[in-house]
């Protein structure tokens, strides 16, 4: 018990600061999420491809890079120039002109400024970079596109756009109020300073261990809190033997201890990344088998004339599913799916369940398919506050020991997530406990807001008492 007391006391002196910061920043994060530029907003501003300038067929581009494994192939516009974007499995993207077949050099600042100004329709006041990392482009999804130019826009919102030097794409947008609130929101909550988060493995380890120590400290506090209760004389009730701030910390810990423990525990699980629970992503071999053919085989049957028939689009992606070739063409009005019917003809289509089932059977060859579902709006595993399935998702239920569900986006033909028994349990332990994502509550606002803010407020006050008690301990010693 003495060891438990010393551990809780001295580790708690440091961790109570984290607790207070987590509870406060958690409340901020609800209303000011980490900045992002949505696909819809990007497509609304992206320039359309000038198909008349395309002289190089995608097949020819793939032949030039014959010895390189390509995971994705896209066609976009870069300042009026049609450009193929090749995505290797690892490393930066490769940009090749669709008009001359030459590799594009990294954009300079002036070009990035012009792209940003055209994107938003306003003048730039400052161009910085190229930057490998910045507070708002630290997530891993930006890695293939680094470095970036940060372009400040002359507007009342203090907008900043991030332009990839590799592709000329605007991939991030932030506004002044977002940045201000996120420093006390997401950056604080996720321990996300650029210096630490730019090294994913280091950040992952540091936050995981801090979170685990927080869980253990909370458990120790609950055990000590219950053990320290004393029965009042001549009264049939228990009371704290402590006075002042320590007494308040003791009582609040008993009252809010269950919530504090479940919230810190579920926060720790957000850093699981496959350590205990399964990951929601398919394995590389499953993705390969789901596609059935390579990108090189996809474009082998698509001529230059077929590509030029895709007018009025700002982005085209070539992909495979179930051994068949497809093209996804995007513009501000939405996405359109095409399938090559012969070398020179692309036909608009919609994916069917049999086609998707066939691809899933190839990806999981030794497993039978039990059934399929289209998740409804009330689906407790598909409609979440964080990580919801797309509107046109199909759930393919496998007949395996882990009762695996494979979710496919029927508009894009991509595997969205893989959810087995382990991952479904994770949904309740993380989404449920951390953000109160329970049926009948999460979608009833402002009831949900009142409850979560009340609990976070109690947790914050409790943490402040810990900060004060810890400070007094330090001064006294």
**Residue pLDDT, tens place only, 274-323:** 999 999 999 999 999 999 999 999 999 999 999 998 888 999 999 999 99
Looking at residue 50, its pLDDT comes to 94
Q: Are residues 11 and 44 in the same domain?
A: no
Q: Are residues 83 and 146 in the same domain?
A: yes
Q: Are residues 64 and 16 in the same domain?
A: no
Rounded to the nearest angstrom, the gap between the alpha carbon of residue 148 and the centroid of all alpha carbons in its chain is: 19
Encoded tokens for 437: 């994502």
**How many domains are there within the chain?**
3
Pairing of strands 315-321, 72-78: antiparallel
Gap between the Cα atoms of 136 and 192, Å rounded: 10
Note whether residue 263 is domain-resident.
yes
Q: What tens digit of pLDDT does each residue of 378-433 get? A: 899 999 988 899 999 999 999 999 999 999 999 999 999 999 999 999 999 999 99
Q: Are residues 360 and 404 in the same domain?
A: yes
Q: Are residues 25 and 74 in the same domain?
A: no
Q: What tens digit of pLDDT does each residue of 98-122 get? A: 999 999 999 999 999 999 999 999 9
Looking at residue 361, its pLDDT comes to 97
What is the DSSP secondary-structure string of 253-309?
HHHHHHHHHHHHHHHHHTT-TTSSSPPSS--HHHHHHHH-S-HHHHHHT--HHHHHT
Note whether residue 324 is domain-resident.
no
Domain end marker among 404, 419, 434 = 419
Q: Are residues 28 and 43 in the same domain?
A: no
CB 115 within 8 A of CB 79: yes
The DSSP call for residue 49 is P
Gap between the Cα atoms of 39 and 297, Å rounded: 28
In 3D space, the residue among 398, 353, 401 whose CA is nearest the CA of residue 374 turns out to be 353
Cis peptide before 421 (omega within 30 of 0): no
The DSSP call for residue 104 is P
Note whether residue 453 is domain-resident.
yes
How high does pLDDT run on average in the chain? 93
Encoded tokens for 53: 């300038």
Q: Check whether 463 has a pLDDT greater than 90.
A: yes
Helices 244-269, 447-476: crossing angle, 10 deg rounding: 120
Note whether residue 264 is domain-resident.
yes
What is the DSSP secondary-structure string of 76-99?
EEETTEEEEEEE-SSS--EEEETT
Q: Are residues 61 and 160 in the same domain?
A: yes
Gap between the Cα atoms of 430 and 436, Å rounded: 9
Note whether residue 346 is domain-resident.
no
Average of per-residue pLDDT across 181-207: 97
Q: Are residues 130 and 50 in the same domain?
A: yes
Pairing of strands 393-399, 94-97: unpaired
Gap between the Cα atoms of 24 and 165, Å rounded: 37
Residue 232 exposed, middle or buried by CB count within 10 Å (0-12, 13-18, 19+): exposed
Given pLDDT bands bounded at 50, 70 and 90, which one contains residue 231? low
Count of CB atoms situated within 10 Å of the CB of 460: 18
In 3D space, the residue among 53, 103, 59 whose CA is nearest the CA of residue 80 turns out to be 53
Q: Are residues 149 and 252 in the same domain?
A: no
Looking at residue 233, its pLDDT comes to 56
Q: Check whether 337 has a pLDDT greater than 80.
A: yes
Encoded tokens for 358: 């066939």
Gap between the Cα atoms of 19 and 421, Å rounded: 31
Q: What are phi and psi of 320, to 5 degrees?
A: -130, 150
Given pLDDT bands bounded at 50, 70 and 90, which one contains residue 13? confident
Note whether residue 348 is domain-resident.
no
Gap between the Cα atoms of 436 and 432, Å rounded: 5
Note whether residue 231 is domain-resident.
yes
Q: What tens digit of pLDDT does each residue of 437-450 get? A: 999 898 899 999 99
Which residue, chain included where needed, has tokens 């009142």? 450
Please calculate the CA angle 250-256-262 and round it to the nearest 5 degrees: 125
Residue 59 exposed, middle or buried by CB count within 10 Å (0-12, 13-18, 19+): middle
Gap between the Cα atoms of 256 and 420, Å rounded: 33
Average of per-residue pLDDT across 134-161: 97
Paired residues of 81 in beta bridges? 78
Q: Are residues 259 and 372 in the same domain?
A: no
Which residue, chain included where needed, has tokens 């797309």? 390
Could you tell me where the DSSP H helices lie in 313-377? 353-363
Paired residues of 418 in beta bridges? 406
Three-state SS at 207 = helix
Domain end marker among 376, 403, 419 = 419
| Residue 208 belongs to domain spanning | 2-32+196-275+446-476
Gap between the Cα atoms of 173 and 161, Å rounded: 5
Gap between the Cα atoms of 347 and 337, Å rounded: 8
Looking at residue 48, its pLDDT comes to 93
Q: Are residues 135 and 64 in the same domain?
A: yes
Gap between the Cα atoms of 262 and 430, Å rounded: 9
Note whether residue 110 is domain-resident.
yes
Encoded tokens for 59: 């097949």
Given pLDDT bands bounded at 50, 70 and 90, which one contains residue 234? low
**Does the model's pTM come out above 0.85?**
yes
Looking at residue 221, its pLDDT comes to 92
More confident residue, 189 or 224: 189
Q: What tens digit of pLDDT does each residue of 345-377 get? A: 999 999 999 999 999 999 999 999 999 999 998
Q: Are residues 91 and 152 in the same domain?
A: yes
């Amino acid at each position: 018990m003495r060891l438990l007391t010393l551990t809780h006391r001295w580790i708690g002196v440091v961790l109570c600061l984290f607790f207070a910061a987590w509870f406060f920043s958690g409340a901020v994060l609800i209303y000011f999420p980490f900045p992002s530029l949505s696909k819809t907003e990007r497509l609304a501003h992206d320039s359309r491809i000038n198909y008349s300038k395309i002289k190089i067929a995608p097949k020819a581009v793939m032949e030039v890079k014959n010895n390189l494994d390509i995971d994705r192939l896209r066609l976009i516009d870069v300042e009026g120039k049609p450009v193929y974007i090749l995505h290797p499995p690892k490393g930066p993207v490769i940009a090749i002109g669709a008009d001359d077949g030459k590799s594009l050099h990294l954009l300079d600042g002036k070009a990035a400024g012009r792209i940003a100004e055209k994107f938003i329709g306003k003048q730039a006041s400052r161009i910085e970079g190229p930057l490998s990392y910045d507070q708002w482009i630290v997530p891993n999804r930006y890695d293939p596109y680094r470095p970036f130019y940060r372009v400040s826009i002359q507007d009342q919102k203090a907008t900043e756009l991030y332009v990839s030097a590799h592709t000329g794409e605007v991939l991030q947008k932030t506004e002044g109020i977002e940045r201000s609130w996120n420093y006390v929101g997401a950056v604080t909550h996720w321990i996300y300073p650029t210096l630490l988060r730019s090294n994913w493995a280091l950040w992952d380890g540091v936050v995981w261990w801090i979170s685990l120590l927080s869980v253990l400290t909370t458990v120790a506090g609950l055990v000590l809190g219950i053990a320290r209760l004393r029965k009042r004389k001549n009264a049939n009730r228990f009371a704290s033997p402590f006075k002042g701030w320590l007494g308040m910390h003791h009582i609040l810990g008993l009252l809010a201890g269950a919530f504090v423990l479940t919230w810190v525990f579920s926060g720790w699980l957000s850093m699981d990344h496959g350590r205990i629970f399964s990951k929601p992503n398919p394995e590389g071999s499953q993705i390969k088998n789901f596609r059935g053919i390579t990108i090189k085989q996809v474009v082998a049957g698509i001529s230059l004339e077929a590509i030029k028939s895709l007018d009025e689009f700002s982005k085209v992606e070539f992909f495979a599913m179930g051994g068949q070739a497809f093209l996804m063409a995007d513009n501000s009005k939405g996405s359109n799916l095409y399938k090559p019917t012969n070398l020179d003809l692309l036909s608009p289509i919609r994916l069917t369940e049999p086609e998707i089932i066939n691809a899933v059977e190839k990806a999981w060859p030794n497993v039978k398919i039990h059934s399929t579902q289209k998740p409804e709006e009330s689906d407790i595993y598909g409609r979440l506050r964080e990580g919801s399935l797309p509107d046109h998702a199909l759930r393919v239920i496998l007949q395996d020991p882990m009762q695996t569900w494979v979710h496919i986006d029927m508009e894009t033909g991509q595997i969205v997530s893989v959810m087995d028994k382990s991952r479904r349990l994770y949904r309740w332990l993380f989404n449920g406990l951390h953000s109160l994502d329970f049926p009948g509550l999460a979608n009833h606002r402002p009831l949900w807001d009142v409850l979560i803010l009340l609990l976070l407020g109690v947790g914050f006050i409790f943490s402040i008492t810990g900060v004060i008690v810890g400070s007094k301990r330090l001064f006294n010693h």
